[in-house]
Amino acid sequence: MAISKGSTAAVIGSGVGGLAAAIRLQAQGIQTTLFEKMERPGGRGHSFELDGFRFDAGPTVITAPGCIEDLYTLCGKRMEDYVKIRSLTPFYRLRWEDGGVFDYDADPKSLKQQMDDFGPGEWEGYQRFLAYAEEVYEQGYVDLSHVSFSSFWSMMKVAPDLLRLRATTPIYQTVSKFVRSERLRQILSFNTLLIGGNPFDVSSIYSLIHPLEKKFGVHSAEGGMGSLVDGLWRLYQDIGGKVRLGAEVDRINVEGGAVSGLALANGETYKVNTVVSNCDMIETYGRLLKHLPDAKRLANRWGKKHFSMSLFVYYFGTDKMFPGLSHHNILFGHRYRELLKDIFHRGVIPDDFSLYLYAPSVNDPTMAPEGGGSFYVLSPVAHMGKNNVDWDQFGPVYRDKIINYLEKHYMPGLRSSIKVDKMFTPKDFESSYNSHLGSAFSLEPRLTQSAYFRLQNRDKDFEGLYFVGASTHPGAGLPGVIDSAKATTDLIVAPEGQSRPFWKDSLTQAPVLT
Ligand SMILES: Cc1cc2nc3c(=O)[nH]c(=O)nc-3n(C[C@H](O)[C@H](O)[C@H](O)COP(=O)(O)OP(=O)(O)OC[C@H]3O[C@@H](n4cnc5c(N)ncnc54)[C@H](O)[C@@H]3O)c2cc1C
């Protein structure tokens, strides 16, 4: 049931999805209060400082910045007054252990030159792949990502299109139909790992990432991703939104099947009939609603689904910079398919790895003291439901292996240049964000866990309970969680079936960084 202007709402969790939902509700006249257990906003998108080095904890790649700008526009504000977004080129630098390098961006001349090196016909194959991906983009992103799927029939209406677009085929398999070189197949399929999906399992729907990047670019925020979150945090408060940091919600009260309020871990209570949970569904059903038998059943049901992998993240600040690095670096190991099988299926921690190395200091001097660099390196690892690694013991061992590897292949002299550092293991994902099994991206983005089959934006069992963020439709990643806020708040404030148009095609011109 839609609620009207002047009503109140609560959002639990200040992840980017929670922030976007709070902004949308507040901007539409619903007095909103945001409760966050941590002492700082942003969830996985928070940032922190160590001795003058600034670190972004999680998301670093901004795609579709128009959906962020829309939040400002909705509030009658200008994004550039809050955060400066800059487009990057290359989008990613992909590197292999034997010295191979590929700079991926939207420049056809440079792409053709590099793809020709992979063999005859690869550039043409890539063109055909892009044409296919553009169709998927129109169908899967523009039309579907920001609307909710409240009934099976709402999904069946689009099923023929999804089948025609090979939504049931894993993206690596689809890519392989267009190009032959293993390296090019890796280049065109690795992106799903950035939203928690194994390219050998994930639907080809995610090929839409390529047109999305080509159309809107890949961006960074000046001062790091922390500036993006700070901007949204300020925006929300500037329009009258209320915030509570260090306020862990312990229980959602329900009376007669409808939400009636919240109880905080410190014993405080708060009356409210509309609650948007930005926590994962196991935290929501299994803890916040654990006093209700129906919720226990739901927690058990969702607990059996496939959760995305976890991550081992190592943040480090150095007193020097390293040649050959770009803002975003993907460092492929010698195995791809088998490595991902170890992580997603076998649950073992392999001896080799493929890494993502974030190096914002390449073009943002504000991230580190003069001459130094702020970095993080991320290694996808199995979530804690798949193995029993003791991360307190194994974390430092794994960190040392990664430092040795980076030093050998990409960052000579790394170890002695490290001035500050911090590790973040699957165990930290669980304890810091209340994330089930320490999963980094919630439910894996498989077709059988997407759209209607994903957690619904509006709960069916408890009136007044809604979800936003990576757990719900459309899924993880910044554009995903921001779109989920649109899908969810439309269910709260718009009459049934109506959705306000929101997507705009262009971002205010951003300077390009190389
Ligand atoms: C290392 C890493 C790198 C990534 N890189 C990218 C990238 O480059 N680009 C991209 O688009 N995406 C990326 N992602 C994915 C993206 O960051 C996430 O999908 C997105 O930020 C999740 O947002 P969310 O709204 O689901 O909330 P979350 O960030 O999950 O936040 C949920 C919030 O709820 C709070 N909370 C939980 N329980 C309670 C409670 N009981 N009471 C109060 N508060 C509670 C938590 O503290 C947290 O702040 C990355 C993720 C990670 C981890």
Answer yes or no: is pLDDT of 159 > 80.
no
Mean pLDDT of 222-248: 97
Amino acid identity of residue 13, one-letter, is G
SS3 295: helix
Q: How far, in Å, is the centroid of ligand 1 from the Cα of 321?
A: 29
Token pair, residue 96, equals 């292999």
> pLDDT-derived band of residue 514, with 50, 70 and 90 as boundaries?
very low
What is the distance between the alpha carbons of residues 182 and 202, in angstroms, rounded to a whole number?
18
Contact between 114 and 102 (Cβ < 8 Å): yes
> pLDDT-derived band of residue 21, with 50, 70 and 90 as boundaries?
very high
Choice between 237 and 151, residue whose per-residue pLDDT is larger: 237
Q: What is the mean pLDDT of the chain?
A: 91
pLDDT for 503:
33
The runs of H, that is alpha helices, within 89-158 are 108-116, 122-136, 152-156
Written as one string, the DSSP assignment of 28-42 is TT-EEEEE-SSSSSB
Contact between 278 and 252 (Cβ < 8 Å): no
- Burial 394-408, CB ≥16 within 10 A → b, else e: ebeebbeebbebbee
Prediction pTM value: 0.93
Answer yes or no: is pLDDT of 497 > 50.
no
> pLDDT-derived band of residue 154, with 50, 70 and 90 as boundaries?
low
Q: What share of the chain is helix, strand, coil (3-state, %, to 5)?
A: 40, 20, 40
Contact between 445 and 206 (Cβ < 8 Å): yes
Q: Which ligand 1 atom is the nearest neighbour of the CA of 313? A: 1
What is the distance between the alpha carbons of residues 472 and 445, in angstroms, rounded to a whole number?
10
Token pair, residue 315, equals 């943040």
Answer yes or no: is pLDDT of 404 > 90.
yes
pLDDT for 144:
60
Q: Where in the chain are the domains?
A: 8-48+70-80+221-303+446-493, 109-216, 310-433
> pLDDT-derived band of residue 506, with 50, 70 and 90 as boundaries?
very low
Q: Which ligand 1 atom is the nearest neighbour of the CA of 13? A: 34
Token pair, residue 412, equals 């000579």
pLDDT for 336:
96
Minimum mean pLDDT among 266-270, 445-449, 466-470, 471-475: which range?
445-449
Write down how long the chain is.
514
Nearest C-alpha to atom 27 of ligand 1 is from which residue? Answer: 15
Q: For 68-86, what is each residue's pLDDT tens digit?
A: 999 999 999 999 999 999 9
Answer yes or no: is pLDDT of 507 > 60.
no
Answer yes or no: is pLDDT of 511 > 50.
no
Among 12, 19, 36, 44, name the best residue to mutate to test ligand 1's pocket (greatest count of ligand atoms within 8 A of Cβ): 44
pLDDT for 484:
94
- Looking at residue 74, what DSSP letter applies? H
pLDDT for 371:
96
Its CATH class, for the domain covering 8-48+70-80+221-303+446-493, is: alpha beta
Q: How far, in Å, is the centroid of ligand 1 from the Cα of 304?
A: 21
> pLDDT-derived band of residue 449, with 50, 70 and 90 as boundaries?
confident
What is the distance between the alpha carbons of residues 487 and 461, in angstroms, rounded to a whole number?
19
Asked if the bond preceding 120 is cis, omega within 30° of 0, the reply is no
Token pair, residue 20, equals 């976007």
Mean pLDDT of 392-412: 97
Q: Phi/psi at 205 (nearest 5 deg)?
A: -50, -35
Q: Which protein residues are within 6 Å of ligand 1, measured from CB?
A: 12-18, 35-38, 43-45, 58-61, 194, 248-249, 278-279, 283, 311, 313, 378, 433-434, 440-441, 469-470, 476-478, 481
Mean pLDDT of 292-304: 93
Written as one string, the DSSP assignment of 406-460 is HHHHT-TTHHHHEEEEEEE-HHHHHHHH--GGG-SSSB---GGGSGGGSBPSB-S
Q: Which ligand 1 atom is the nearest neighbour of the CA of 38? A: 47
Amino acid identity of residue 70, one-letter, is D
Q: How far, in Å, is the centroid of ligand 1 from the Cα of 30?
A: 24
Q: Which ligand 1 atom is the nearest neighbour of the CA of 248? A: 42
Nearest C-alpha to atom 32 of ligand 1 is from which residue? Answer: 15
Among 233, 278, 423, 432, name the best residue to mutate to test ligand 1's pocket (greatest count of ligand atoms within 8 A of Cβ): 278
> pLDDT-derived band of residue 499, with 50, 70 and 90 as boundaries?
very low
Q: How far, in Å, is the centroid of ligand 1 from the Cα of 308?
A: 13
